[in-house]
Structure 1
Amino acid sequence: MSASLAATPLRDRLAVWCGWVLVGAAAIIPLLGWLWPREFWLAPALVGLLCLPAVRLRDQDRPVAIVLFAGLIWAAVSTMWSPYHPPKLDNSTILKLALQLPLYGSAILAARRADPVLNRRALQVLAWGCALFGVVFLAEAATQGAVYKALRVVYGPMRDDLAESRIGHATYLLGAIWPLAAYGAARKVRPWLTLAMFAGTGAAAVVFGSDAPVLGLVLAPAVALIVWRWPSGGPKLLAVLAAVLFLSMPLVVWAVRHFFDYQAIQNALPLTDSMRLGYWSHAIDWIRARPFLGWGLDASRMFGPGIKLHPHNNPLQVWMELGVVGAVLAAAFWVVVLSGLSRAKPSLAMAATAACAATYLLFGVNFGVWQEWWLGLGAVVAMLAVMNAPAAEPERSSL
């Protein structure tokens, strides 16, 4: 790498540096996803830290940046009335968010700044790595997690049930990024790489009880087809649906509880899903008690035993902690991002990006919105979207 930098003009060195950082990130993303899924945030954080000199906002970046910054400010203000006070500095969600916003933003902008040749190399490395990830998932599904369990004996023994849960968790990671990884592979006409990602995710998700990734394998191709068929209107429709999801989720849960036998639905579901429905029911009661300002950042930690840590639902947690202001900002974010995928002509890159975004939104009804690995996964999806975007006019270096 040093030889490449030495032979490159000064104005291009940053592009080469960002390119090599992306190649390294592409190599570790599948490994982190398999062995350390809860530390997945390390990938975008390291890219962002190493590529901070690449930060340069364009006019089209400003709407998203404004919405995110406004959300960060509102979250910080809400800590004034939150009943939760972190016992240690590393438990402070607002501090983590304040660091994640510039670091993850830097990672996304680095993908745009990277040297095109190295960017393509990074996409190839990612495609092969994710395909191998899928093959490993097939082996894990066939052996009930024998490979992962054997490795855990070496670097950290873990009970079999927890190991299997961790493998199931990992299916969400590959399940969210495979359309963009597959698009990078498809441009080299290697369909078997895509098949390995798809089949591995599905097999492991079924065996280890991860329902959402199985649904995601159906949703992603459907959304991609819609955006490919209607490149202008498809992303806008998706943007409207995302906004409706965030704005109406409390009403949806209330309607199900009011018009149907909510307890019977809970009893008919597997334990983990039944527990989530219980959290959601308690969450809408707390939302109704304070709908405008919310209860403050991380307040849902204090509403046990009805809610354990958080409602396990992104929209409900935003409503519960940040109120209608937070919900509107979240909806605005998705409207700006998804409507920005509209194109006059069909684009496979935009279709793959929309598929990943839709899958991420689907998975969001399972997890806490502030979890580091979850926000890191969103940053990786955005980073891959930029890496896969069709080449635009070359950017002039600010050096």
Structure 2
Amino acid sequence: MTTGLAGGASRDRLGVWCGWVLIAVCAATPLFAWLAPKGFAALVALGGLLTLPAIRIEDDDRPGLIVLFAALIWAAVSTIWSPFHPSRPDNNTILKLAAQLPLYWSLISGARRADPRLQRLALAVLAWGLTAFAVILIAETITGGALYQHLRNVAYAPMRQDIAEAKLGHATFVMTALLPLVVLGGPRRLRPGMGLVMVVGAGSAALAFGSDAPVIALVVAPLVALAVWRWPSVAPKLIAVAAAALWLGAPAVVWAVRHFTDYAALQRAVPQSYAMRLGYWSHAIDWIRLHPLRGWGLDASRMFAPGIDLHPHNGSLQVWLELGGVGAIAAAAFWAVTLLRLSRPRGDLAVAAAAACAAVYLVFGFINFGIWQDWWVALGALIVVLAGLHQPSTSPRLSE
């Protein structure tokens, strides 16, 4: 009987379609990472729209999706008492989250459904693309971002040097968040070389352009991957407990540091960016204490200037501040359920890489970005998509 991709196309057109959509998303990812990281929301949403026919919820998915749906309902209810009132659709967080959940899940389902050969091709395309991007980052490091500035000047308008450097530093977050799963998708013999190029590219650019967190990520990721590979049953469970504890206990940690140390001296001792974060965190726990259960409402962080500039730069504190203890419990439950699913009786490279990416995402979320930022949510979904591409396809198989 006819077998292979051609035969599969006649039996499973949807799997082939999903595969090509994923290839296109993977091919575009390095360009978005370099030139327009904030465009990831549009890229992932478009991929989800194109793969909507593949959307499925499997038995193992239900606990995490139930938590996400319940959290979405609570966030919508919290807009009733939130002091922030969106003036247009592009700053209406609850509308965007309501659209992102099904669209992003659709692309995750599409990654699982994609034809196996196209799954592998998509991963290879991304591995080669991010390797090339890493080489570009090395060149940008040497030239002080000259290529990026030239492209921006030609396409848009002149950009100040410090802003260009900040944009390139931003790109290193994308590279390091995806790196473990991307390297694993490259040709087996070339993975060590590709990984080395990516590490050098991301690390050198992060150091040159003032992004501390990606440098931390390059240390955290291999340690987590090694732990999950070496102790595949226990390590994911420990990481799940640690993640849940961080989501629930962040206000207590900040309170303890402020109460038992000289907080002002600590702020003076650290770099300015971290001193500002310490200030945001201190203000956040004071306001959390006033509404510890319900929070101040979705996007309320925007209204606490000058004590907090847009958000506390800590995902846990932002959830506590806006959605209260109810939201924090939901966040802890989601991460616990997600990470517990990685527990295996035997070591698995794909699982170890997924755990490493999850750990990096958590590190960034706890010290850098607003939790509802569109590109940031999309990047998290893209990590899950890559993990899905490493799973056996759910496309129907041909029988003899």
Q: For 1:121, what is the secondary structure of its paired residue?
A: helix
Partner of 1:167: 168
1:97-176 map, 5 Å = 97-157=97-157, 158-176=159-177
Q: Is the 8 A contact 2:320 2:327 kept in 1?
A: yes
Q: Percent identity?
A: 60
What's the CA shift for 1:60? Answer: 1.0
**2: distance between equivalents of 1:74 and 1:202?**
39
What's the CA shift for 1:189? Answer: 3.5
What's the CA shift for 1:190? Answer: 3.6
1:1-399 map, 5 Å = 9-157=9-157, 158-185=159-186, 187-365=188-366, 366-389=368-391, 391=392, 394-395=395-396
Instruction: Report how many aligned residue pairs link the two structures.
Output: 393
What is the one-letter code of the residue matched to 2:241? Answer: V
What's the CA shift for 1:39? Answer: 1.5
**2: distance between equivalents of 1:208 and 1:225?**
29
What is the one-letter code of the residue matched to 1:380? Answer: L
**2: distance between equivalents of 1:370 and 1:396?**
39
Q: How big is the alpha-carbon RMSD for the aligned residues of Structure 1 and Structure 2?
A: 1.6
Q: For 1:364, what is the secondary structure of its paired residue?
A: helix
Which shows bigger deviation, 204-213 or 177-186?
177-186
* TM-score, length of structure 2 as denominator length: 0.95
Q: For 1:351, what is the secondary structure of its paired residue?
A: helix
**2: distance between equivalents of 1:11 and 1:306?**
59
Q: For 2:351, what is the secondary structure of its paired residue?
A: helix
Q: Is the 8 A contact 2:140 2:148 kept in 1?
A: yes
Which digits, 9 at most, give the CA deviation of each residue in 1:113-137, with x for residues without a partner?
A: 0000011000000000011111111
Q: Is the 8 A contact 1:5 1:17 kept in 2?
A: no
Q: Is the 8 A contact 2:113 2:393 kept in 1?
A: no
**2: distance between equivalents of 1:61 and 1:213?**
30
What is the one-letter code of the residue matched to 2:323? Answer: L
What's the CA shift for 1:90? Answer: 2.0
Which digits, 9 at most, give the CA deviation of each residue in 1:215-264, with x for residues without a partner?
A: 00000000000000000111111100100110000111111111111111
Change (3 A) 1:143 1:319: same
Q: For 1:289, what is the secondary structure of its paired residue?
A: coil
Change (3 A) 1:188 1:233: same
What's the CA shift for 1:10? Answer: 4.8
Which shows bigger deviation, 85-94 or 324-333?
85-94
What is the one-letter code of the residue matched to 1:289? Answer: L
Which shows bigger deviation, 145-154 or 266-275?
266-275
* TM-score, length of structure 1 as denominator length: 0.96
**1: distance between equivalents of 2:102 and 2:220?**
31
**1: distance between equivalents of 2:188 and 2:327?**
39
Gaps of 5+ in 2: none
**2: distance between equivalents of 1:376 and 1:242?**
20
Gaps of 5+ in 1: none
Q: Is the 8 A contact 2:114 2:393 kept in 1?
A: no
Q: Is the 8 A contact 1:5 1:13 kept in 2?
A: no
**2: distance between equivalents of 1:249 and 1:283?**
11
Change (3 A) 1:395 1:313: farther
Q: For 1:315, what is the secondary structure of its paired residue?
A: helix
**1: distance between equivalents of 2:106 and 2:45?**
9
